[in-house]
C-alpha cells in the first residue's frame, strides 16, 4: 500500500454506519501511511468542536479537519486535498464515499496520486437511479482506478451507471463484522434472566425502529407464531421514530405480552442481546418506489457471528448478508405469514438452528472479518 490520503465527510465522532466503516478500515491500515482529510462536526455534548479535537488527538494517524461540516468537490476543497497530498507525500487516495468527492479524482491525479479508490455505500445506488447524479457517478468511475461496492445488489445498480471499463474494475468492499465482539456465548442467558425470559423461545431483532426494517411485520407475525409456539417472545432491540407506532401495533394485535422493547442500547450491550435470541429475524421491505431500501444489512452478519440462524427480508442488499438455506432464509419483506412460517420451523428444530448458526459463524470468519477486508483495501491502495 502506498501512503494514502483518506478524503471523507463521514468520520467519527459523528455517529453512523459509514463513519464506523471508514474509521474501522483506517485503523487497520499502517498508521504511518495514512492521513485523513475530513469535514468537521458540530454535534456532540457542547457543539463547540471539543469532542472532534479530543477524538482526533487520540487517532494513530493525522486527521486534518476542514472548517466546513460538509466537504464538496469545490475548487477550494480540491486545492486543499491536493496540498495535503503533496505535503504528506501521499500517492494513493481513498474516498470514503465515492459520491460526490470522487469528482476530485482527476485533479488529485494531476497532483501526484497514482491510485484512487472510491467506496460506495447505499446512497450511491440511489444516485445511480436519477439522470443527473447518474452522469456524475459515471465521471467518478472514469476518474478513479477502482469503485468498491457493498454487495451484489448495490453493484448491479451502480455498475449500470458506469462505463463498461469502470464497471469491470469494481471490487467488493463491505464493512466487516467484529468476530471477537460478536460470538456464541456472548452473555445471552444473563439478558434473558434480567428480562424474565429464561426458558422461553426468543426471536430477537436488532435495528433502528423505522418502517423499512420490518419490526411491524414481526409483530403481525406473532399471532401465527404463538399459535404454534405459545410461550415465544419477540425481543425488539433498538430505538427510532417508529417506536410509538410499534407499541400500539403490538397492543392492537393482542400480542403486547409477547413483545418486549429494550429501546436503544449502548454498544457494549449489543452482543449479549443477540445472544439472548434463539432466532434472529428482520423481514425488511423496500419502500418509496425503491428509494428506501437496505444497503447490506450488517445485523444479519452480527447475528450469524453470534451463532444464530437468521430470517431476512428481500429488500435491496439484505440477501447479500445471508446464504439462503444455509445461514438462514430470505422471505418476502412485509409478509407476516412467510416470516412466521420460517420462524416457527426454526423455533421447533434445535438441530437446524445449531447447523445454520454454525454455518453463519464460519461464513463470518471466512469472508467478513475486518482484517481480511482491510487487506483487500490495502492491495487496492
Ligand atoms: P442502518 O441503520 O440502516 O445502517 O442498518 P445496518 O443494519 O447497516 O446497521 C445497523 C448497525 O447499528 C448495526 O451494527 C447494529 O448492530 C447497530 N444498532 C442497531 N440498533 C442499535 C442500538 O440500539 N444500539 C447500538 N449501539 N447499535 C445498534
Q: How confident is residue 49, by pLDDT bands cut at 50, 70 and 90?
A: confident
Please state, in angstroms and as integers, the Cα–Cα distance from residue 371 to each residue in 10, 29, 142, 368, following that order: 21, 9, 29, 9
Q: Under a CB-based contact definition with an 8 Å cutoff, are residues 114 and 2 in contact?
A: yes
* Ligand 1 contacts CB of residue 144 (under 6 A): no
What does the CA dihedral 283, 287, 289, 292 come to, rounded to 10 degrees? Answer: -100
Asked if the model's pLDDT at residue 190 lies above 90, the reply is yes
4-173 CATH, one of 1.10.3720.10, 2.30.30.60, 3.40.50.2000, 3.30.365.10: 3.40.50.2000
Range(s) of the chain covered by CATH 3.40.50.2000: 4-173, 188-367
Arithmetic mean of pLDDT, 327-354: 98
Asked if the model's pLDDT at residue 278 lies above 80, the reply is yes
Integer Cα distance of 306 and 297 in angstroms: 15
249-261 pLDDT per residue, tens: 999 999 999 999 9
Residue nearest ligand 1's atom 9 by CA: 298
* Ligand 1 contacts CB of residue 297 (under 6 A): yes
303 alpha carbon to ligand 1 midpoint, in Å?
A: 12
* Ligand 1 contacts CB of residue 304 (under 6 A): no
| Residue to mutate, 12, 122, 205, 299, ligand 1, most ligand atoms under 8 Å from C-beta | 299
Mean pLDDT estimate for the chain: 96
Asked if the model's pLDDT at residue 64 lies above 90, the reply is yes
Integer Cα distance of 102 and 114 in angstroms: 14
Confidence (pLDDT) at 366: 96
Backbone angles phi, psi at 237, to 5 degrees: -105, 135
Please state, in angstroms and as integers, the Cα–Cα distance from residue 259 to each residue in 33, 250, 298, following that order: 49, 7, 23
Q: Domain 188-367 belongs to what architecture? A: 3-Layer(aba) Sandwich (3.40)
123-149 pLDDT per residue, tens: 898 889 889 999 999 999 999 999 999
* Ligand 1 contacts CB of residue 240 (under 6 A): no
Integer Cα distance of 38 and 178 in angstroms: 25
Amino acid at each position: 500500500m502506498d501512503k494514502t490520503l483518506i478524503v471523507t465527510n463521514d468520520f467519527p465522532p459523528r455517529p453512523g454506519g459509514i463513519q464506523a466503516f471508514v474509521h474501522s478500515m483506517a485503523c487497520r491500515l499502517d498508521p504511518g501511511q495514512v492521513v485523513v482529510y475530513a469535514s468537521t462536526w458540530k454535534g456532540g455534548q457542547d457543539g463547540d468542536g471539543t469532542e472532534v479535537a479530543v477524538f482526533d488527538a487520540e487517532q494513530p494517524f493525522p486527521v486534518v479537519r476542514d472548517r466546513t461540516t460538509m466537504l464538496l468537490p469545490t475548487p477550494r476543497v480540491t486545492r486543499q486535498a491536493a496540498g495535503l497530498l503533496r505535503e504528506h507525500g501521499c500517492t494513493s487516495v481513498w474516498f470514503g464515499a465515492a459520491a460526490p468527492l470522487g469528482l476530485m479524482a482527476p485533479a488529485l491525479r494531476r497532483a501526484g496520486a497514482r491510485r484512487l479508490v472510491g467506496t460506495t455505500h447505499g446512497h450511491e445506488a440511489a444516485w445511480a437511479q436519477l439522470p443527473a447524479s447518474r452522469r456524475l457517478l459515471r465521471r467518478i468511475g472514469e476518474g478513479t482506478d477502482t469503485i468498491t461496492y457493498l454487495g451484489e445488489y448495490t453493484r448491479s445498480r451502480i455498475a449500470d451507471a458506469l462505463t463498461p471499463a469502470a464497471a469491470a474494475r469494481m471490487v467488493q468492499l463491505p464493512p466487516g463484522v467484529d468476530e471477537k465482539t460478536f460470538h456464541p456465548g456472548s452473555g445471552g442467558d444473563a439478558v434473558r434472566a434480567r428480562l424474565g425470559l429464561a426458558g422461553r423461545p426468543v426471536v430477537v431483532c436488532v435495528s433502528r425502529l423505522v418502517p423499512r426494517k420490518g419490526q411491524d411485520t414481526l409483530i403481525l407475525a406473532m399471532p401465527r407464531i404463538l399459535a404454534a409456539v405459545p410461550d415465544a417472545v419477540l425481543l425488539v432491540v433498538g430505538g427510532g421514530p417508529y417506536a410509538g407506532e410499534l407499541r400500539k401495533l403490538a397492543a392492537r394485535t393482542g400480542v403486547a405480552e409477547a413483545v418486549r422493547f429494550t429501546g436503544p442500547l449502548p454498544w457494549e450491550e449489543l452482543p449479549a442481546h443477540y445472544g439472548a435470541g434463539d432466532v434472529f429475524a428482520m423481514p425488511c421491505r423496500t419502500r418509496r418506489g425503491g428509494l428506501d431500501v437496505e444497503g447490506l444489512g450488517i445485523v444479519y452478519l452480527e447475528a450469524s457471528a453470534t451463532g444464530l440462524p437468521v430470517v431476512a427480508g428481500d429488500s435491496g442488499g439484505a440477501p447479500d448478508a445471508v446464504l439462503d438455506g444455509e445461514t438462514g432464509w430470505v422471505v418476502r419483506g412485509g409478509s407476516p405469514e412467510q416470516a412466521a412460517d420460517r420462524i416457527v420451523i426454526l423455533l421447533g428444530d434445535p438441530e437446524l438452528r445449531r447447523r445454520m448458526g454454525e454455518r453463519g459463524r464460519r461464513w463470518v470468519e471466512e469472508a467478513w472479518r475486518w482484517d481480511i477486508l482491510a487487506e483487500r483495501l490495502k492491495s487496492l491502495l
